[in-house]
Amino acid sequence: MERFVVISGCSGGGKSTLLAELAKRGYAVVEEPGRRIIREERKGDGAALPWMDEAAFARRAIAMALADWAQACSLSGWVFFDRGLVDAAAALEHSTGESALGRTGRTRHYHRRVFLTPPWPEIFAADVERRHDLGAAIAEYERLLSAYPSLGYEVINLPKARVSERADFVLRTLAG
């Protein structure tokens, strides 16, 4: 859907902060599936955590991304996704070797332009939901840098700038 915009890229690169800024400006946003899954799994005895069972985590992320996409159809205007189905399919492909991108990544469409946060070591920080280091985050970014174009998306790297400038950049790019 041309009004569904993915903000993806390097973990710890400022995606969630950018989405919060877009929400503050009145746009609909969809929280990252991964963080929601981790919170749910940590409440119980869940093992679908990326540091315990990456494949189970990725499969849950695919299911959640599909549900998010379907629910977003009821929203109007621009809808900004903190990651999406392609991210989850790329994670599954990486963890299992399954050909998930071609099969899963083409089932739902987003705006042709996808915005990626590049690695930004100065702001990267691990936390209880992000246990991997910067090296793993960069490797993930590099996988996404090829995954999106392989499905026909145009990748646009976000500038390393203040969040307000990043939000302005996204909105200007979409308007053009």
Here the CATH number for the domain that contains residue 122 is: 3.40.50.300
| Global model pTM greater than 0.85 | yes
pLDDT digits (tens, 9 = 90+) for 57-83: 888 889 989 999 999 999 999 999 999
Distance in angstroms (rounded) separating the CA atoms of residues 110 and 37: 22
> Domains in the chain: how many in total?
1
Q: Count of CB atoms within 10 A of residue 121's CB?
A: 11
Note down the domain range covering 85.
4-175
**Structure confidence at residue 125 (pLDDT):** 64
∠ CA 157-143-161, nearest 5°, is 25
